[in-house]
Amino acid sequence: MIRLVNVSKVYDNGVTALSNVNINIKAGDFVFLVGPSGAGKTTIIKLLLKEIEPTSGDIFVNDKNITVLKRREIPYFRRNIGVVFQDFRLLPDRNVYDNIAFAMQVVGTPSKEIRRRVPLMLSLVNLSSKAYAYPNELSGGEQQRVALARAIANNPPVLIADEPTGNLDPDTGWDIVNLLSEINRRGTTVIMATHAKEIVDAMRKRVIILKKGTVISDQEKGVYLDEVK
């Protein structure tokens, strides 16, 4: 489903963010991407979203080599991947319902389907009662749940979460991880970059550890090794 083959990334300022990274993620996996600050986690996520290009190597998503996509193919490609960030990134001038509906409108979903699906998404993230609230009226955990609902509204095969619990207290962070786990159980491949050792250790999912731009460990049912810090 997702494959990085000998991927290296050197930024324009000469910093080597990734060197010769090989990662293979199967459909339906739940993967934690961990590593110290600067290890290259966000760089991998940006590469998967095709926000940046690798300096060398190939990246496959859904068996398609995305390094050779044409510019006009990129918007369509991005529909394969839902994404949530540490800072939620909701549209401040739209309510919860419209934040989710908007993500569906921009990919051309018929309005009847939007009216059917948004309430399902709100119910999944347990926010049906907040449909008409604006982001600034919500707690951080609620905002992240809206961001999750929006990310999966178009039913992407892959969901990427970049430090999704970073701005949340531990209990609220767990709500988000439990939702990610539920979304994964329903068939979506989930990749979560995180520093949250307690969460990684408790979940016993696959753990890929990066350090200084290389994969130093890749374990099924792994833990957050101490040398990561």
Sites of contact with ligand ATP (CB under 6 A):
11, 13, 15, 17, 35, 37-43
In the bound state with ligand ATP, the residue whose beta carbon lies nearer, of 14 and 108, is 14
Cα distance between residue 159 and residue 137, in whole Å: 26
From the CB of 163, what's the least distance to ligand ATP, in Å?
Answer: 7
In the bound state with ligand ATP, the residue whose beta carbon lies nearer, of 13 and 129, is 13
Residues pairing with 2 in the sheet: 25, 61
In the bound state with ligand ATP, the residue whose beta carbon lies nearer, of 35 and 141, is 35
What residue type is assigned to position 66 of the chain? I
In the bound state with ligand ATP, the residue whose beta carbon lies nearer, of 55 and 181, is 55
From the CB of 161, what's the least distance to ligand ATP, in Å?
Answer: 13
Backbone dihedral region of 51: left (phi > 0), alpha (psi from -120 to 50 degrees) or beta?
alpha
From the CB of 38, what's the least distance to ligand ATP, in Å?
Answer: 4
Q: Strands (DSSP E) along 80-157, which ranges? A: 81-85
From the CB of 190, what's the least distance to ligand ATP, in Å?
Answer: 17
In the bound state with ligand ATP, the residue whose beta carbon lies nearer, of 40 and 222, is 40
Residues pairing with 161 in the sheet: 84, 192
Interior/surface letters 82-102, b for 16+ CB within 10 angstroms, e for the rest: bbbbbebebeeeebbbbbbbe
First to last CA, the chain: 30
What residue type is assigned to position 38 of the chain? G
Cα distance between residue 203 and residue 199, in whole Å: 6
From the CB of 197, what's the least distance to ligand ATP, in Å?
Answer: 13
From the CB of 187, what's the least distance to ligand ATP, in Å?
Answer: 27
In the numeric block, which tokens belong to residue 9?
């990334």
In the numeric block, which tokens belong to residue 176?
């988000």
From the CB of 39, what's the least distance to ligand ATP, in Å?
Answer: 4
In the bound state with ligand ATP, the residue whose beta carbon lies nearer, of 43 and 99, is 43
Q: Which residues contact 114 (CB under 8 A, 6 or more apart)?
A: 101, 104, 105
Residues pairing with 31 in the sheet: 191, 206
In the bound state with ligand ATP, the residue whose beta carbon lies nearer, of 32 and 97, is 32
